[in-house]
Amino acid sequence: MAVETPAKPSLSDKLYDKMFHNYVWKSIFRTGYPNTPRNQMLIVATNVFLHLHPTRLHRTHVKVTHTYCLGGLSFFMFLGLTVTGILLMFYYVPSVERAYLDMQNIETTVQFGQLMRNMHRWMAHAMVILVFMHMMRVFYTGAYKPPREFNWVIGVILLVLTFLLSFTGYLLPWDQLAFWAITVGTNIAGAAPVLGPKSRFWLLGGFEVGPNALIRFYTLHVIGLPLLAAIFMAVHFWRIRRDGGLARPL
Amino acid sequence: MATAAVARPAAKPQPRARDEEVLVWPDLVFIEFIAAMVFTLALFLLSFLMNAPLLDQANADVTPNPSKAPWYLLNLQELLLHMNAALAGVIVPSIWLVIMGAFPYFDRDNDGQGIWFGTENSIKLSIIGGLVGIVGTWFLILWDSGKLAFFLNDWFGFSGGDTFRFLENVRSIQTQLPWPEWSREITYSPWNIVIIGEDFQNLDFPGWLVEQGIPTGVMVAFPSLLIFALWRAGMIFTRRDAVVVLFSGFVGAYLVLTVVGTAFRGQGQELVFPWQLKVSEGIPGQH
Amino acid sequence: MTQIEQTATPGKTPAGKIEYVRQQEARRLARRSFMRVSVFAGLTLSIGAMAAGTLAFFNLRRPTGFGGVVNVTKARIPTAGDDPARISEGKFWLANLQGAEGDVLGVGGTGGLLALYWKCPHLGCTVPWSPNFDGAAVNFPGIKGWFRCPCHGSTYSRAGIRVYGPAPRPMDTMALTINPDGSLNVDTGKITGGAADNPLRTVAYNG
């Protein structure tokens, strides 16, 4: 039998070497391609986005039927809504005179504008549903039990924030649907005993849905509530890790 | 091979936690990636097929009929039809959120976590709780909208006449019973207490009964009775079981309220079938 | 290894067995690297498509105002011989010349519509229409109404012909088409440098 000589590097091998085994690439990605257990753990531990995860976790937790990825997908919806929302902000002015015209402009004149608006709206609906389903998943798997009591409370707060985010965004198109939905919605808040009418007045900046309400809802929708939600999400994710990862039978 | 003179006890492999673990890359990261991709594609597809609604420009002088809140608040709007506005719109959801947040402080046993339906009867209890929530809420909505009395009369020819007219719906208790005049203004405080413009001195008892008393009673008594009955029936053993029934009942009721508010409420918030639901654009100048 | 050995029948010699295992392993690796390349190629493609879409989002499908096509309704078009109309959204003067009007150099203009970009070719000031300016001051006595730049006094006739001042050329013109309904489309993105033949660039209009 002939002695095997190592195969000559092909063109693609050389190209691969040039692309990934150079000084610049290695300064960005410290670890090599994650094809060995060592590299696979390193990439999770050293990457800022991945280090939300532990490097290894229990076998039962990677079963899709255990979580259905609902929490992660809720977060993914939040990210997607941030991206599409920022893009829509380029074309939208929250003034009573312009808001509706801007919506028409986004739908007719802006390239991919209709698509972007659709994405934002359906993602928002999806997020409300996903967050609720995530809550049901956590409840029925008993994942709220000690030591995760407080994380469940944060989850309830995040559910409320999701509703509020969706609700404040509902007014922005300034069409009949938006106007009357917010009128009905804030009337519900205004029905609160003692504090109701005053809190409705504060929320709307007047007795009726008008220019003040539009700018208030807009500011809450694009910065106030997302910031608050992001803070609570950070605590939520941090606590998952601190409380020992996903719940598991003892 | 059975020749070894001394049977050395074979080193039993100890189950180590490490053996049960998998690496996050690739086992978890790839699942998350695929889930994100599936959702991205599905939402793109949905966005290509369905446009977000955009009606006429907002006009404070023209009210569409029916006017509805966003769908996830329609459960509250539905609740508002049946009781005092403050109770339905603010107090009930607030108290429920506090109760829900307090679940882990009530059910402190850390047994049965991390698996679907941890306790023995969980699945049965969830189904019972959910069904009671769904059927009970439907029943109450049908009763309060007067449909129950209508069906009884229309289908079975059963009519209570004027004697039972007060049972037609909640508010007929106030209007159809001969309440004595004094009960409509019961003074419970010697002086008028005013808190931010609201008076607290007199109580309209029949009004209070149908707007606050009965609804609160129903919302407290039904779940309590259900949990008590299941406990006596030997299905509820732990606090976890009780919470499962309560939460499942909530999910059922929430679902029905949302669906009824979205698809079964037509013009003037009349109870109609979804295919009869029409929206009037509204007439200028008419509220 | 053991599994492969059990199922491997070809090659009676140990060397054959080793060769078979080696090929199996090579195939496995090839399949894996093919998958990896496909996944990353697909990922790059989809992210690229999304990035391109995002960039396209900043593009307007039908730009309006200056730079795009500006529509001038029939009511705004001046009648022949009238003062030029100021079309501010398109940054131009719409002149309706009567016969050889404005053709001060006599190049043979026959009248019609002319869209004159209102930016002075000299240093970019906005040129106003001065209806009472007498041509006598610029050696064209008898003609009233001139475009006169407030910055350096460049003076242009109704057809944008420069007759006085530091401007290097006559006023620039814009492409102009007449719609069947009598309105005009002026392509404000299509600007032609002004020249002595400005009066010949008119479009006849009988609306």
Domain count, chain A: 1
Region of poorest pLDDT, from A192-196, C46-50, C148-152: A192-196
User: Where do the domains of chain C lie?
Assistant: 2-57, 69-201
**Sequence-separated (6 or more) residues with CB below 8 Å from residue A57:** A245, A246, B21, B22, B24, B28
Q: Would the CB atoms of B35 and A72 count as touching at under 8 Å?
A: yes
Q: CA nearest B128: which of B259, B277, B245?
A: B245
Q: Is the pLDDT of residue C34 over 80?
A: yes
Q: Is the pLDDT of residue B1 over 50?
A: no
What local confidence, expressed as pLDDT, does residue C4 receive?
47
What local confidence, expressed as pLDDT, does residue B196 receive?
67
Structural domain includes residue B74: yes
Structural domain includes residue B286: no
Find tokens 């129950």 and name the residue: B148
Give the nearest partner residue to B110 out of A126, A145, A163, using CB atoms: A145
Q: Is the pLDDT of residue C158 over 60?
A: yes
Q: CA nearest A162: which of C195, B225, C158, B97?
A: B97
Q: Would the CB atoms of A87 and C62 count as touching at under 8 Å?
A: no
Domain extent at residue A108: 67-173+226-242
Give the nearest partner residue to B110 out of A34, A120, A146, using CB atoms: A146
Q: Would the CB atoms of A87 and C59 count as touching at under 8 Å?
A: no
- CA of C10 to nearest chain A CA: how many angstroms apart? 17
- Partners of chain A (3+ Cβ pairs below 8 A): B, C
Structural domain includes residue B155: yes
Structural domain includes residue B189: no
B104-151, pLDDT tens digit by residue? 999 998 888 888 998 888 999 999 999 999 999 999 999 998 888 888
- CA of C45 to nearest chain A CA: how many angstroms apart? 18
What local confidence, expressed as pLDDT, does residue C86 receive?
92
Q: Is the dihedral of CA C44, C50, C52, C55 positive or negative?
A: negative
Maximum average pLDDT range among A212-216, B189-193, C102-106: A212-216
Q: Provide mean pLDDT across the span B240-244.
A: 94
Q: Is the pLDDT of residue C79 over 70?
A: yes
What local confidence, expressed as pLDDT, does residue A233 receive?
97
C79 DSSP 8-state letter: P
Structural domain includes residue A47: no
What local confidence, expressed as pLDDT, does residue B240 receive?
92
pTM of the model: 0.84
Structural domain includes residue B196: no
**In CATH, what class is C69-201?**
mainly beta
Residue A126, SS3 per DSSP: helix
Strand order in the sheet with C173-178: C69-72, C184-192, C173-178, C112-117, C92-97, C85-87
- CA A225, CA A219: separation in Å to the nearest integer? 9
Interface contact A81, partner B, CB < 8 A:
no
**Cis ω on the peptide bond leading into residue A147 (within 30° of 0)?**
yes
Region of poorest pLDDT, from A2-6, A40-44, A72-76, C10-14: C10-14
How many residues would you count in chain A? 250
**Backbone dihedral angles phi then psi of residue C130, each to the nearest 5 degrees:** -110, 95
Q: Would the CB atoms of B77 and A136 count as touching at under 8 Å?
A: no
Give the nearest partner residue to A181 out of B35, B52, B69, using CB atoms: B69
- CA A34, CA A55: separation in Å to the nearest integer? 12
Q: Would the CB atoms of A56 and B24 count as touching at under 8 Å?
A: yes
- CA of A135 to nearest chain C CA: how many angstroms apart? 31
Q: Give this complex's ipTM.
A: 0.90
Structural domain includes residue A8: no
Structural domain includes residue A162: yes
| Angstrom distances, CA of residue C61 to CA of A33, C48, C58, C136 | 43, 21, 10, 49
Q: What does the block give as tokens for A217?
A: 């809802």
Domain count, chain B: 1
**Backbone dihedral angles phi then psi of residue A161, each to the nearest 5 degrees:** -65, -35
What is the pLDDT confidence band of residue A91, given thresholds at 50, 70 and 90? very high
Residues of C within 8 A of A108 (CB-CB) are: 61-62
Q: Name beta bridge partners: A243.
A: none
Structural domain includes residue B174: no
Distance of CA A202 to the CA centre of its chain: 28
Residues of A within 8 A of C56 (CB-CB) are: 111-112
Q: Which of C57, C58, C62 should we substitute to test contact with A (largest number of A Cβ atoms within 10 Å)?
A: C57
Structural domain includes residue B2: no
Structural domain includes residue B58: no
Domain extent at residue B245: 69-162+205-276
Using only C-alpha atoms, chain B has a radius of gyration, in whole angstroms, of 28
| Angstrom distances, CA of residue A88 to CA of A120, A222, A225, B157, C181 | 9, 11, 17, 59, 36
Q: Would the CB atoms of C54 and A90 count as touching at under 8 Å?
A: no
Structural domain includes residue A35: no
Chain B residue with CA closest to A99: the answer is B57
